Chain A
Amino acid sequence: MEFRSTLSKVRDRGLSTEGGSGHWWAERMTAIALVPLILWFVVSAISMVDADHATFVKWAGADGNPVLLILLIIAVYHHGQLALQVIIEDYIHHEVAHFTALIAVKLGAFFLAVFTIFSVAKLTLEG
């Protein structure tokens, strides 16, 4: 089945001039990355149900765990802010509220990602 319109019809209409296709791809790339990362994290979290501080710190710094945690954090917050952006664009039409929400979500997700990555680095390097 051919889903695409002819080039003559789409020229100068609906072209992804504001980065729409980049957004679409990034949302899917982070989704694909999150499939194995999130499953690994769930299994890890289950194993930490009863963990004390020493056990947790040891796990966070062990082998490839810091790298997987940092990848997970990046993917979670990148995917989360891309998706919330779409929801804001769909439902919040008031201009001031629209841009306030977008900016808050984007900056908030960036802050949370950096803060969490820094926490992993601190646990790994300081023990």
Chain B
Amino acid sequence: MASGNRPLSPHLQVYRPQLTSFLSIMHRITGVGLWAGALLMTYWISSATYGPEAFARAQWFLGSWFGRLVLLGLTAALYYHLANGVRHLAWDIGWGYEMNNLNASGLAVVIFTGVMTVLTFLAGYWVAGAL
């Protein structure tokens, strides 16, 4: 590992903020965040094996204002990571590397995330009979 006072190459802060670099780091951040979603999925499914009271407690928590807030963040993170993940798969087969395509697909990912998150929550409230 590097030691002493060796000079460092210019780091992130010397670059102008761009959509592409912002979306890139967001893929990692949402990915780490989605671990909380995986844990919540495990909690939700396994709670049912401990009987009706345990499952009702899980449902109550997920439906509470705090639970809904967490689910809102996870839903947005999920759609973002999903759409941007498909973008990554396209790059893996060599598609979409041109600058105008990168910006267009990036914008599409952001719009998809916003629209799908709103639609998902509207559907959830509709199922709950709140609409």
Interface residues of A (CB under 8 A from B): 1, 3, 28, 31-32, 34-35, 38-39, 41-42, 46-47, 49-54, 56-57, 60, 69, 73, 76-77, 80, 83-84, 87, 93, 112, 115-116, 119-120, 122-123
Contacts and interface: CB of A to CB of B under 8 A. Distances in A.
Contact of A87 (B1, B32, B49, B59): B32
Identify the interface centre among A3, A32, A54, A116: most chain B CB within 10 Å of its CB.
Answer: A116
B106 to A, nearest CB: 18
Determine the main DSSP class of A at the interface with B.
Answer: helix
Given A35-B85, A49-B124, A116-B46, 17 more contacts: A28-B89, A34-B82, A42-B120, A46-B120, A46-B124, A49-B63, A50-B127, A50-B128, A53-B52, A56-B48, A60-B45, A76-B38, A83-B31, A84-B32, A87-B32, A115-B46, A119-B42
A28 B39 CA distance: 22
Contacts of A3: 94
Nearest to A76: B38
17 contacts: A3-B94, A28-B92, A34-B82, A38-B78, A46-B123, A46-B127, A50-B127, A50-B129, A52-B55, A52-B59, A53-B52, A56-B48, A116-B42, A116-B45, A119-B45, A119-B48, A120-B45
Q: Size range of the interface on B?
A: 35 or more
Given A60-B45, A84-B35, A87-B32, A35 B51 contact: no
Interface of B: 1, 28, 31-32, 34-35, 38-39, 41-42, 45-46, 48-49, 51-52, 55-56, 59, 63, 75, 78, 82, 85-86, 88-89, 92, 94, 120, 123-124, 127-129
B63 A53 contact: no
A87 B28 contact: yes
A53 B129 contact: no
Contact of B128 (A35, A49, A115): A49
A3 B41 CA distance: 40
A42 B75 CA distance: 9
